[in-house]
Structures are given as C-alpha cells and as structure tokens.
Structure 1
Amino acid sequence: MLKKLIVLAALLLPACFANAHEYKIGELEIAHPWSQELPPNAPNVAAYFVIHNKGSAADRLLSVDSPIAGEAQLHEHVMQNDVMKMNHVPSVEIPAGGEVTFAPMAYHVMLMNLKDRSQLSDGKRFPMTLHFEKAGDLKVEVVVQKQAPDGTQPHVHAQ
C-alpha cells in the first residue's frame, strides 16, 4: 500500500508544479509570474509575481515591458481617505535580504493598450521583461490563469 502511495505521489507531483516557475538574475529570484484570464473586452491586464532579493544590497525594479502591450507601468494600491486607489510608481525598491510581492490590491504591473489578446486565455503564456537597476534585464513568461493562486476571481483594472 505504501509503495502505491509513493508511486501516486510521484505521478502527481509534476502536476502540482506545472504552473510554478521561477527565474533568477544575479541575487534576485522572481517566483511564478502570472496574470488572470479576463473578459475579451478588458481594457488592461495586470501581471503579478514575487521578487526575492538574496543579496546584501538593495536593487530597484525600474520598468517592465511586454510585446502584448503598448505600455506597461508599475502600480500600487494604496488606501487614501478610506478609498483604495491605484497609483503609478516610477520604480520599486527590492530591499537587501527581503522580498516584494506583486499581487492583486498591492504592487502590480499594469499592461495597457493591449496589442495581442490571443495570449490572454487560461493556460497561455506571454513574455515580459523586467528591467532592474543593478541586476539588469530579465525575460520571464507570465502564465495566464482563470483564478488567482489563492482562488479569487479576476477583476478588471480600468484606466
């Protein structure tokens, strides 16, 4: 019985990590870039990931670009006077030995003026390049999912 369970676990393990993917540049590790599948008429799409800085010096995410969008901006959600607002930020500091999470209702990459919607359905991937001040440029593949990893449904960011 134990042998059957081990074989079953070994067979299922790759499926658990099918959407998990990580990238590394210098001392930075970028975990699971993803985006939510949105309705075909959505004006924009957001991308999310986690940046881990394993180094002893801070770095800074300066910008992002993707061939599927005419424009990409770094944004953050902030609470101002009991109202949640989305603000464009010029860059995001990645502290030494720390991490920054890009997630719904937090930092995120806003991809606007979408050029290629064919890559925005569940299970598809699209390229995105992250430009860091010290580490340089890193190309990642963003996985499009029906739901966020925490199971929440997608929301549309209007501009």
Structure 2
Amino acid sequence: MRKFSSCLGAALLALSFTAGAQVVDVKSAWARASVPGQKATGAFMTLTAPAGATLVGVRSPAAGVAEVHEMKMDGDVMKMRAIPSLALPAGQAVELKPGGYHLMLLDLKAPLAKDSQVPITLVLRDAKGVESQLELKVPVQAVAPAGGMAGHSH
C-alpha cells in the first residue's frame, strides 16, 4: 500500500506540472542519505526538456548551499567542480548520476534520513530565455534505487 500511495503521489505531482507550461520532465529522482556530522550529499535524476532548456540553479532548504556539479577525468585524476549551468538539449535525456553531472547539497542543516524526502528547487531557463522554478520532493535513499525508479516522474 505504501508503494502504491507514493506512486500515486508522484503521479499527482507530475499532473500538477503538466497543467502549466512544462519546461522539463524529471524522472528517477533520489538523494543519497547522510549520517550525523556529514555536511554534504548528492541528488540525482534524469532531466528531459521537450523544447530545450538550461538548468541554471538549484536550492534546498535542507542545505546552506546547493550547486550543479560535474565530475570528470583530468589526466589520471577524477575532479569534481561546480558549474554555472547545464544545457538540456531538446528532447534528450540528461542523466544526473554519481560520477557525472549531479546536484550537491552542501552545509547540510540536518542529516537526510533514508526513506524521507528532501525539497529541492530547480531553476530553469527555457529556450526563449524565460526562467521558471520546479519544486521537487526527492526521496532519500541509502543507495541508488533498484531499476532506476523508471516509473516515477515529477
């Protein structure tokens, strides 16, 4: 029953975003659980902008700072850095995942407990330059969800 109600909640949330101008579809969203004393964690999802868009910011009341990050090899060293924006080409799924593009929640105000939800706001700019915000309630998991939660969207 719990799984059904969470799926129903996700479906209702998805409907609320399709009622207006839909800039981006969000699927398979999750955030990594943290432990007391841990000050940072990541959030992951797949973003698809039907008409193209740019992710230009992220916020969360759970963190003092939230940023869009990328991880990439620099010679023999994997480096992570904040990036000012992330292009979402029209109709192409952009995966935010461990070891690649992702959202970083820094200066956590409290641990993110497994099986809770964390509010995250995506700031997007559509192909015409109009900014919008997308409010998400992202499930917190200890590890990546099995099967990628392909049926969930926001």
Structure-1 residue corresponding to 2:150: none
Displacement, 1:54? 2.0
Corresponding position: 1:76 with 2:70: yes
Question: For residues 36 and 99 of structure 1, what CA distance do their matches in structure 2 show?
Answer: 21
Residues 66 and 16 (structure 1), Cα distance of their counterparts in 2 relative to 1, 3 Å cut: closer
Displacement, 1:13? 7.8
1:117-132 paired onto structure 2 within 5 Å: 117=111, 120-132=112-124
Q: Tell whether the 8 Å contact from 1:37 to 1:146 is kept in structure 2 after alignment.
A: yes
Counterpart among 33, 36, 43 of residue 39 in structure 2? 43
* Residue-by-residue CA offset, 1:66-124 (whole Å, 9 max, x unaligned): 0011111110110110211101100000001111111100111111111133xx11110
Structure 2, unpaired ranges of 5+? 148-154
Question: For residues 121 and 67 of structure 2, what CA distance do their matches in structure 1 show?
Answer: 12
Name segments (4+ residues, structure 1) moved above 2 Å: 11-25
Identity percentage of aligned residues:
31
Residues 132 and 89 (structure 1), Cα distance of their counterparts in 2 relative to 1, 3 Å cut: same
1:110-149 paired onto structure 2 within 5 Å: 110-117=104-111, 120-134=112-126, 136-149=132-145
Q: Tell whether the 8 Å contact from 2:23 to 2:53 is kept in structure 1 after alignment.
A: no
How many residues are aligned here? 137
Residue 71 of structure 2 aligns to a residue whose secondary structure is strand
Q: TM-score, normalised by structure 1?
A: 0.75
Residue 4 of structure 2 aligns to a residue whose secondary structure is helix
Q: Tell whether the 8 Å contact from 2:67 to 2:105 is kept in structure 1 after alignment.
A: yes
Please give the root-mean-square deviation of Cα atoms over the aligned residues, in Å: 2.6
Structure having the higher Rg:
1
Question: For residues 5 and 117 of structure 2, what CA distance do their matches in structure 1 show?
Answer: 17
Corresponding position: 1:14 with 2:4: yes
Displacement, 1:39? 2.3
Q: TM-score, normalised by structure 2?
A: 0.77
Displacement, 1:132? 0.2
Displacement, 1:146? 1.8
Displacement, 1:33? 1.9
Q: Tell whether the 8 Å contact from 1:20 to 1:32 is kept in structure 2 after alignment.
A: no
Residues 79 and 43 (structure 1), Cα distance of their counterparts in 2 relative to 1, 3 Å cut: same
Which structure has more RCO (C-alpha within 8 Å, separation ≥ 6)?
A: 2
